[in-house]
Amino acid sequence: MRSTIAALIQDHPGALNRAVSLFRRRGFNIHSIAVGPSETPGIARMTVVVDAEHVEQVAKQLYRLIDVIKVCDLTDERTLQRETALLKVHAPSASRADIVALCTIFHARILDAGSHSLVIELTTTPATLDRFTDLVRPFGLKEVARTGQIAMVCPVHRERTATLTAAEESELDFEPNPLAV
Amino acid sequence: MSDRRTGAQIMCEALIRENVEVLFGIPGGAIMPFYHALPEYASQLRHVLCRHEQGAGHAAEGYARVSGRVGACVATSGPGATNLVTPIADAWMDSTPLVAVTGQVGSALLGTDAFQETDITGITLPITKHSYLVTDPNELPRVFREAFHIASTGRKGPVLIDVTKDAQQARTVPVWDVPMDLPGYRPTYEGNARQVREAARLLAEAEHPLIMAGSGVIWSGGGEALRALAERTGIPVITTLQGKGAFPDDHPLALGMPGMHGWVHVNRAIQACDVLLNVGGRFDDRVTGKASTFAPHAKIIHVDIDPSEIGKIVRVDVPIVGDARRVLEALTEAVEPRDRSSWLAEIREMQEQHEHRQSYRKRPESSALMPHDVYEAFDRIARERGGYRVITDVGQHQMWAAQLIEWRDPGTHITSGGAGTMGFSVPAALGAAIACPDETIWVICGDGGFQMTNQELATMRQEGIRNVKIAIIDNGYLGMVRQWQELFEQRRYSGTPLTGPDFALLAEAYGHRGMRVTDPAEVDGAITAAWDHDGCVVIDFQVEREANVFPIVPQGRSIGEMMTEGVAE
């Protein structure tokens, strides 16, 4: 089971280290991590995919860090997920057409070609990336670089929560969740 | 020109602006610029030269714990900084407000394995509430302001400020009117009104409710509020080790301490209760025993200022994030009173069935001095005299102190709870003695812990401290480990027998008064003489070597499974 956590953190030296350290402390393996600028200058967005099931406690402890501004456990949310991969595939003329055909099916782009290999770019869900990788592997997979998954809650869901007025929110029969985006 | 200051001068002025009066520390290469500036501010900033940085850290903790203010300590880079790691970890575990300032090698040398360079912000990352590495003196005013704000608000804790040597030396014009930049730090103080109402409803409907008070009640100044709630509702109160003093032990509703060395009737009451209100405690494993079996019939209300504590160990029915005092006040207002006398009588009956606290001692067939004799005498004399604080260390003596002394006021019982740091007490007493010069600061410690940090006796002498009295419960063992070895490991006393110097003579060597007590008849006289002596005193109470702390819940077991006597013949 994998869990996905997104966090907004201050773009300071050491901030990422502090955040990642909480997963290390629990012995959770980080499957992927993607960090980059968010919509707010000076604030970075970090998306962590962890090989662990119960991450609520880590999410709360993450929120406790001074450098962390928002935390969202996306595991059970309706999210859009994307990841980009670059794959260098062995592609002599005999198999090249088959590989190009696969790229067409998956809407992958061929970025560069050499006499014996192709470099392919594919942006899709992590699961589809896994499938594509498995399909090209028999041709001879020379090198793979993946960005790590990023995720965003679907707009439909967002609009619903955004339309809640303050009064309606206070009627929710649970503590306002400090982790909610 | 006159406004230009060195980074070191700015550091001193920042400390003064944060109302720091005392600084515990030791100089060294990378912090020398700071020490060079320090004498200019001597009238406002007292520096106490400790004998080990660990001592400086614990002294700052002791100062903080009795005064409620932020403790401050200072050390150089490398080993100076790493020696602070233990007190920083201790402050982290016990939520003690502490600011540790360390010197660092010049910024050009960072990461080069320079002489006395250690990555102290990296080392302390998981045990600080926050930390700073400062390479630019212009950042110092903001960093110090944020550090003291973070250490002293919300759930209190340690903050480290590591300042490179060049940042201490460089000159700049400090800008003090600089805002804090902490968008991710907004502690919640007021409990959610809906949750408070729900908690009040549960408490009002409960037949067998209990209140468990932890250190959050003390830090928030919530002692009176706790008393008001207990008295309005008639709900009995349990105080955890760190909550000792939050509620007077001699109050009719006071039950005592829960957990591994809690009283039988307290643990039984927890297992029987239908609503448990934990306010300002974190369900430490020493309190809960096997957490899945803790309070099996209870709806649990957990009040904590730190949201990450809620639901960490036990399931919680009503979470309330907030300041203990404010939530207690809100609850008192919201709750309907109800007669709980039959429930209290039930618990008191359980208490009667089990032996009285003093009878848990197993006096051997000898006239040996029992530790219990010392506590009984101390409790009696202290009650008559008043005006004291007690700092305990870690081990058997610590549990006996929590069990056998009646704690009545917040801030009178200071101990290393979460981290369980042996060697805490003597330096912590140094800090407490400076914070409370008109009170008598008692240390109760073991002969093992005493030997870890007793060099601070020299600091006490140098600083002219006269109000520290140290009672060593000397059994020639690392007693708590020995007790576990006796009870659970077939008396295999591996690594626990311990010799010491002549502690009385050692005290005299440091310029204090030393005494030795071996006879039960001498205990009263020794404690009284120590109290009356104008100066620090060390009393070596040579006690029965194999006395045990009872009751005990074996580790990992349910608190329902208590041993009230041992297997020792």
Residue in B122, B133, B184 nearest the CB of A66 = B184
**Residue B407 in domain:** yes
Q: Tell whether B192 lies on the interface with A, counting CB pairs under 8 A.
A: yes
Residue of B nearest to A26 (CA): B126
Cβ-defined contact of A60 to B195 (cutoff 8 Å):
no
A69 min Cα distance to partner chain B (Å): 4
Residues of chain B found within 8 Å of residue A56, distances taken between Cβ atoms:
311
**Residue B389 in domain:** yes
Q: Same structural domain for residues B130 and B200? A: no
Q: pLDDT tens for residues B364-391?
A: 666 889 999 999 999 999 999 999 999 9
Cβ-defined contact of A66 to B129 (cutoff 8 Å):
yes
Residue in B125, B182, B319 nearest the CB of A18 = B125
- Report yes or no: B60 and B24 within 8 Å, Cβ to Cβ: yes
- To 10 degrees, the CA torsion angle through B289, A26, B217, B67? 120
Q: Catalytic residue numbers of B?
A: 53, 115-116, 165, 480
Q: By three-state DSSP, how is residue A103 classified? A: helix
Residue in A17, A57, A66 nearest the CB of B308 = A57
Where do runs of H (alpha helix) occur along chain A? 15-26, 56-64, 93-106, 126-140, 155-162, 166-171
Q: Among B140, B172, B204, which residue terminates a domain?
A: B172
- Those residues of chain B that have pLDDT short of 70 are 1-2, 355-366, 566-569
Residue in B121, B130, B188 nearest the CB of A66 = B130
Residues of chain A found within 8 Å of residue B321, distances taken between Cβ atoms:
175, 178
A64 min Cα distance to partner chain B (Å): 7
A146 min Cα distance to partner chain B (Å): 28
pLDDT of residue A53: 86
Q: Same structural domain for residues B267 and B396? A: no
Residues from A in contact with B at Cβ < 8 Å: 9-10, 13-14, 17-18, 21, 25, 56-57, 60-61, 63-69, 170, 173, 175-176, 178
Asked if the domains A3-77 and A80-150 are classified in one and the same CATH topology, the answer is yes
Cβ-defined contact of B312 to A57 (cutoff 8 Å):
yes
Residue of B nearest to A12 (CA): B132
pLDDT of residue B234: 96
**Residue B469 in domain:** yes
State the burial class of residue A171 (Cβ atoms within 10 Å of its Cβ: 0-12, 13-18, 19+).
Answer: exposed
Distance CA A81, CA A151 (A): 4
Distance CA B357, CA B263 (A): 8
Cis bond before residue A41 (omega within 30° of 0) = no
Q: Count CB pairs under 8 A between chains A and B.
A: 52
- Report yes or no: B91 and B98 within 8 Å, Cβ to Cβ: yes
Q: Tell whether B129 lies on the interface with A, counting CB pairs under 8 A.
A: yes
**Residue B224 in domain:** yes
CATH architecture, domain defined by A80-150:
2-Layer Sandwich (3.30)
Strand partners, A5: A48, A73
Amino acid at the residue A177: N
Q: Same structural domain for residues B239 and B335? A: yes
**Residue B187 in domain:** no
Handedness of CA B193, B195, B197, B200 (dihedral sign): negative
Q: What is the largest CA-CA distance in chain B?
A: 79
Helix (H) or strand (E) holding B524: helix B523-532
Name which of B322, B329, B330 is nearest B186 in CA terms: B322
What CATH fold (topology level) applies to the domain A3-77?
Alpha-Beta Plaits (3.30.70)
State the residue range of the domain holding B371. Answer: 363-542
Q: Among B334, B353, B372, which residue terminates a domain?
A: B353
Q: Same structural domain for residues B73 and B10? A: yes
**Which of 278-317 (B) contact A at CB < 8 A?**
306-308, 310-312
Cβ-defined contact of A67 to B192 (cutoff 8 Å):
no
pLDDT of residue A1: 84
B183 min Cα distance to partner chain A (Å): 6
**Residue B178 in domain:** no
Q: Same structural domain for residues B477 and B445? A: yes
- Residues whose CB is less than 8 angstroms from the CB of residue B81 and which lie 6 or more positions away in sequence, other chains included: B53, B75, B102, B103, B104, B118, B120, B123, B162
Q: Same structural domain for residues B320 and B205? A: yes
pTM tops 0.90, yes or no: yes
Label each residue of B239-286 as H, E or C: ECHHHCCCCCCCCCCEEECCCCCCCHHHHHHHHHCCEEEEECCCCCHH
- To 10 degrees, the CA torsion angle through A154, A155, A156, A158? 100
Distance CA B46, CA B35 (A): 12
Label each residue of A59-99 as H, E or C: HHHHHHCCCEEEEEECCCCCEEEEEEEEEEEECCHHHHHHH
How many domains does chain B divide into? Answer: 3
A98 min Cα distance to partner chain B (Å): 50
Q: Same structural domain for residues B277 and B208? A: yes
Helix (H) or strand (E) holding A6: strand A3-10
Measured in degrees and rounded to the nearest 5, phi and psi for residue A75 equal -55, -45
Neighbour tally for B384: CB within 10 Å: 8
Averaged confidence pLDDT in chain B: 95
- To 10 degrees, the CA torsion angle through B275, B278, B283, B288? -40
Residue of B nearest to A55 (CA): B312
A92 min Cα distance to partner chain B (Å): 47
Angstrom CA distances, A44 to A119, A133, B150, B313, stand at 30, 30, 22, 31
Q: Same structural domain for residues B219 and B348? A: yes
Where do runs of H (alpha helix) occur along B454-520? 456-462, 479-488, 503-509
Q: Same structural domain for residues B410 and B505? A: yes
Q: Same structural domain for residues B152 and B212? A: no
What is the CATH classification number for the domain harbouring B457? 3.40.50.970
Give the distance from CA B491 to its chain's centroid: 31
Residues of chain B found within 8 Å of residue A60, distances taken between Cβ atoms:
307-308, 310, 312
Distance CA B213, CA B431 (A): 26
Residues of chain B found within 8 Å of residue A25, distances taken between Cβ atoms:
126
Q: Same structural domain for residues B389 and B491? A: yes
* Domain range annotation of chain A: 3-77, 80-150
Distance CA A162, CA B108 (A): 49
Residues of chain B found within 8 Å of residue A170, distances taken between Cβ atoms:
194
Q: Same structural domain for residues B168 and B249? A: no
pLDDT of residue B360: 62
Distance CA A169, CA A171 (A): 5
Interface test with B, best of A10, A63, A64, A67 (most B CBs within 10 A): A64
**Residue B145 in domain:** yes
Cβ-defined contact of A66 to B133 (cutoff 8 Å):
no
Q: Tell whether B220 lies on the interface with A, counting CB pairs under 8 A.
A: no
- Those residues of chain A that have pLDDT short of 70 are 157-181
Cβ-defined contact of A57 to B131 (cutoff 8 Å):
no
What is the CATH classification number for the domain harbouring B259? 3.40.50.1220
Cβ-defined contact of A14 to B131 (cutoff 8 Å):
yes
Residues of chain A found within 8 Å of residue B92, distances taken between Cβ atoms:
none
**Residue B566 in domain:** no
